[in-house]
Amino acid sequence: MKRGYFITGTDTGVGKTLVAGGLAAIYKSRGINVGVMKPIATGCKKVQNTLISDDTIFLKHAAEVNDEYELINPVSLEQPLAPIIAARMSNTKIDLEKVHSAFDTLFERHDALFVEGIGGLLVPIDEYYFIIDMANELELPLIVVCRNILGTINHTLLTVSYARQHGLDIKGIIVNESIETPDDTLKKTNIDELKRLTDLPILGIIPFDKRLDTRNFNKEVVLKIFRDKINKDIII
């Protein structure tokens, strides 16, 4: 059975890469033919004249796939800016055909696919084309990753209500403590309010743990924490 999720977030740096890679690693460890994709990456580094994104490398390692780099990350831009601006600065336009054709190939090759967005839903890709439009065209349900800090309720409700207004299917929310927050009352009440106000399942609550640093992928640690903290419902 074909399955996939589009991993979006309330903001940049909330833990989309960690979550997409962690979920892919769990699927892989269960013998599922899983693939990963980062359609557009900015802030890429030049390695032997090719632009490479850290997110793509993490996702590729986590899912242990042999797919060509250009399929996993068809659009790579150098400037660490929103895609439309990074593209302008490189005198190019983002090639959405390339994204769709890479997606189709990966979707064909794999039984499940995790696609990581870039930033949040209203990140501009073209003049009037945003990440939410891409998620809509790829027809995958969303998983929304949010932080667990003061402000999370507002950011998450805005994301969820905007996605719903645009008719997107939302599988649920993953609360990821990407910033260490010692206030247990804040953390617990955030989660209770998110459940009450969105009526969505909380698919997982990932604690802050220095060993989850995506720049230093530790498969055993990621697998252990994700197995313990992610709702079995999203694991096929």
Ligand X SMILES: Nc1ncnc2c1ncn2[C@@H]1O[C@H](COP(=O)(O)OP(=O)(O)OP(=O)(O)O)[C@@H](O)[C@H]1O
Query: Does 16 sit near ligand X (CB under 6 A)?
Result: yes
Site for ligand X in 125-184 (CB under 6 A): 176-178
Residue 38 is among the residues annotated as catalytic for this protein: yes
Query: Does 212 sit near ligand X (CB under 6 A)?
Result: yes
- Cα 18 to Cα 15: distance, rounded to the nearest angstrom: 5
Q: Do 71 and 105 meet the contact criterion of CB atoms below 8 Å apart?
A: yes
Residue closer to ligand X (CB basis): 12 or 189: 12
Query: Does 25 sit near ligand X (CB under 6 A)?
Result: no
Q: Are strands 170-176 and 202-206 parallel, antiparallel or unpaired?
A: parallel
Among 2, 16, 28, 38, the one annotated catalytic:
38
Least Å distance, CB 98 to ligand X, is 20
Among ligand X, Mg ion, none, partner that 14 touches (CB below 5 to 8 angstroms by kind) = ligand X
Query: Does 208 sit near ligand X (CB under 6 A)?
Result: yes
- What residue number has its CB nearest to Mg ion? 17
**Long-range contacts made by residues 72-75, C-beta under 8 angstroms, separation at least 24?**
72/35, 72/36, 72/37, 72/38, 72/102, 72/106, 73/37, 73/38, 73/39, 73/40, 73/41, 74/39, 74/40, 74/98, 74/99, 74/101, 74/102, 75/39, 75/40, 75/41, 75/99
Instruction: State the residues that interact with Mg ion by CB under 5 A.
Output: 16-17, 55
Query: Does 18 sit near ligand X (CB under 6 A)?
Result: yes
Residue closer to ligand X (CB basis): 196 or 202: 202
Report the catalytic residues.
38
